[in-house]
Amino acid sequence: NATVGKADYRRQLVTNQSARCLSAYLYSAAGCGESTTDLAWDGHGLIVDYGNILAESTRYTPTDQLITADLDLLRLHQERMRQNTFAQACFHHQRELETFDTVRMAPLKDPRPCPRVQPVPTRFPYVPGASDQRDERCAEVFNIQVQGLATRLRATGLKTLVLGVSGGLDSTHALLVCC
């Protein structure tokens, strides 16, 4: 049922669950005309992929709606394979795939033009658009590199570090990490 502030709460809930579970989350609420009681329904629909809202319906419309989005299921699969918590599921998934029957089909000849991928892929998908988030991400990457180098130096027992600096961007960045 619809209550004040519930849509924002729902957006947070669905995006957080999708990100936490490394999954796509499709949400559809009852809409106008789906109840004869005194409750109000907003018909809210969401398509969320890995914590990102790809499509959202307009709430409180008098007619049915359809929202669509392209989900990158292969990316979700790859992300899950990188997480230790999904390791057992990975082996189970492989066994399940081996039981599938493969049916070969000729490509469909559809006269309609191929729909444009939605959402349109961004030029730099791993770089946040907001400057404060981008600064935080860059600082995190830098600190990971510093920590990795420090850990490696401790593990090898090296007391000195030799770095050749050419003046280019890569060696300048390496120098900053070493400092």
Give the pLDDT confidence of 86-127 residue by residue, as tens digits.
777 777 778 888 888 888 877 767 666 666 766 777 788 778
Are the beta carbons of 179 and 163 closer than 8 angstroms? no
Structural domain count, the chain: 2
Is 65 part of a structural domain of the chain?
no
Is 31 part of a structural domain of the chain?
yes
Is 93 part of a structural domain of the chain?
no
Give the pLDDT confidence of 14-59 residue by residue, as tens digits.
999 999 999 999 999 888 777 666 667 788 999 999 999 999 998 8
Q: What percent of the chain has pLDDT over 70?
A: 91
Distance (Å, whole) CA 31 – CA 34: 6
Strand partners, 49: 24, 52
Is 46 part of a structural domain of the chain?
yes
How high is the pLDDT of residue 60? 83
Boundaries of domain holding 150: 131-178
pTM listed for this prediction: 0.53
Is 66 part of a structural domain of the chain?
no
Give whole-number Cα distances, 141 to 47, 95, 126, 135, 165, in Å.
30, 36, 12, 10, 21
Is 45 part of a structural domain of the chain?
yes
